[in-house]
Amino acid sequence: MIETTKRAICVGEATIELARGGDGRFALASSGDTFNTAIYLARAGQPTAFATALGDDPYSDAIVSLAAAESIGTDLIARVAGRLPALALADAGLTGARRTHGWGENQPARELFELPDWSLTAAALTTARLVYFSGITLSLYSNVGLGRFLAALELARAAGAKVAFDGNFRPHGWRGDLSRARTVFAEALKRVDIALPAYDDEAVLWGDPSPESTVERLQAFGVAEIVVKNGPNGALVANAGARDMVPVPEIVTPVDATAAGDGFNAGYLAARLAGHGAMEAAAAAHRLAGQVIRHRGAIVPRAGAAMH
């Protein structure tokens, strides 16, 4: 039975990740940008669910078990017989920077809005307090799936949900087709209340010369609340007619920058859902992102995951 509590619903993919550790060995974990954000939102005490599709294999079972262990609602995780989740392999390049290679062309998450019960997922979004998704989410779906998802977002907003979006542009997910990515993003942005883009992604996709120009472009789409993440340079917050830079409270040399943006987004959204203002929320977001990059992997061990 689908839960109807007002909650945040994160939509996207959860993948199996093989990450090489400092000893050169690979360890098994789960990954996914919106999945990471869902975990940190739930840890912040916000009722949260994750909407995706997985297979019926033991690795999919492990992802569902992890979600449940993190107090994430699993009722919107569809299971598809005979299928497998996507696989990601994370390794360090020659510069030491993390690089990820993915195998996910046949993952069930791509068909979330084309499965026989897709309308149940769409209906669940209309019960949400917040719907969160990313550019990676958009890159998964066919034009049919996108049409259904965007229509569901409209219905969710009409029912009172806030819609939050992180562009999180990854060219390989769009097979290098920047034109299609821009078209899809433009349609999605018309349905977004809170945009949480990273400036470097926006510069690649749109050619934005500055975070200020990113704000202006998103405001032209009608987005009311915008936070442009710019790494150690801080975050530019535009909300309620004001525009302010919120600096990073402490410059941290990353142990692993994986999921810094996902953690930032969760910190920001959790604070906003708890009733804090945008500036205070951005400061909380910086603090959580700073904790995330002090640890290897996307998910900080629980003892180090304090939100405030």
Interval 93-106 mean pLDDT: 75
Q: What is the pLDDT of residue 171?
A: 94
Please name each of the domains of the chain with its CATH number: 8-12+39-50+110-304 (3.40.1190.20)
State the pTM of this model: 0.94
Structure tokens at 132: 């969160």
Tokens of 126: 């209309």
pLDDT, tens only, 28-63 = 999 899 999 999 999 999 999 999 999 999 999 999
Average predicted confidence (pLDDT) for the chain: 92
pLDDT band for 304, please (50, 70, 90 cuts).
very low
Task: Between 172 and 253, name the one with better pLDDT.
Answer: 172
C-alpha 33, offset from chain centre: 4
Distances (CA, A) of 19 to 33, 70, 98: 15, 21, 10
For residue 303, give every residue at least 6 positions away whose Cβ sits within 8 Å of its Cβ, in sequence order, or none.
none
Task: Give the pLDDT confidence of 100-115 residue by residue, as tens digits.
Answer: 888 999 999 999 999 9
Band (pLDDT 50/70/90 cuts) for residue 21 is confident
pLDDT band at 303 (very low <50, low <70, confident <90, very high): low
| Cα–Cα distance, 151 to 188 (Å, whole number) | 10
Between 206 and 99, the higher pLDDT residue = 206
Question: pLDDT value at position 278?
Answer: 97
pLDDT at 307: 41
